[in-house]
Amino acid sequence: MKNILVTGGAGFIGSAFVRYMVNTYPHYNIIVYDKLTYAGNLDNLLPVSDEPNYRFERGDIADRETVRRVYREYDIDTVVNFAAESHVDRSILSPDAFIHTDVVGTYILLDEGRAHGLERFLQVSTDEVYGDIEEGFSKEDDPFLPNSPYAASKGGGELMVRAYHVTHGMNTVITRGSNTFGPYQYPEKLIPFFTTEAIDNRPLPVYGDGMQVRDWLYVDDHARGIDVVLHRGAPGEAYNIAAENQRHNIDITRRILELLGKPESLIRQVRIPKATPPVLP
């Protein structure tokens, strides 16, 4: 393992992983490949931008020709795939981009990687693939029961990774991270969104009674967990990465308001959004 391509490395979790890897493994070459959509930001990588073992290439993982060029140009031996459309609400309203990136893009990375002779392929997925858990924690052998196009697209990407392991013998591993938070997070996610909205005294939309439970994982802990799986994970296996820090959404919301000195009257209960029906000809 020497030349590692980190796709989606300018995003929230991807950039945390890049910053960690560049500083922890100076003998590795870390090449970031990112489309720089709304959630990707080169400012996330400024802390390592001058390091000699860091490079950046702009591109789409669903662009086969560019993926092939980057594999060859940097003699890539390892891929860590963070690249994904990753917002549940956006996937409900416009699922096409999620399927294109999360499924088709993953397939192209794998297919070109097989031809190139990759030594290792790590797919960064999500615990959303398990769906709702009545109690306790998800286990790696639990069935997939996705509740949104986002979760379904990530599950589809995982199944493609498994297929390339079983069919072609590729050395693949998968991580499924829980709800991640921390610096550089794009402000559409709960903590940064509610924080910025509350600062401006705008209402905070909480789905239903807010009693949904999520495991909250700090982004640097998530990055270190991925590193462990990259180096020690058994080929063909999937690994949950979690903090065992389960909290209700409403409790997180109230804590944000408390820290900001804002009233709980800013909380607004809303229904879960549904996709707009297509207009038929």
**Cα dist. 196→85, 129, 192, 270 in Å?**
22, 29, 6, 19
204: three-class secondary structure by DSSP = strand
Q: Under a CB-based contact definition with an 8 Å cutoff, are residues 158 and 84 in contact? A: no
Strands (E) across the chain are located at 3-7, 29-34, 54-58, 78-81, 120-126, 172-177, 179-181, 204-207, 213-218, 238-241, 246-248, 267-270
Tell me which of 54, 107, 130, 150 is the catalytic residue.
150
Residue 150 bears catalytic tag? yes
Helices (H), 99-170: 106-116, 149-168
Tell me which of 34, 85, 112, 128 is the catalytic residue.
128
Tell me which of 60, 77, 85, 127 is the catalytic residue.
127
Backbone angles phi, psi at 53, to 5 degrees: -100, 20
Catalytically active residues, by annotation: 127-128, 150
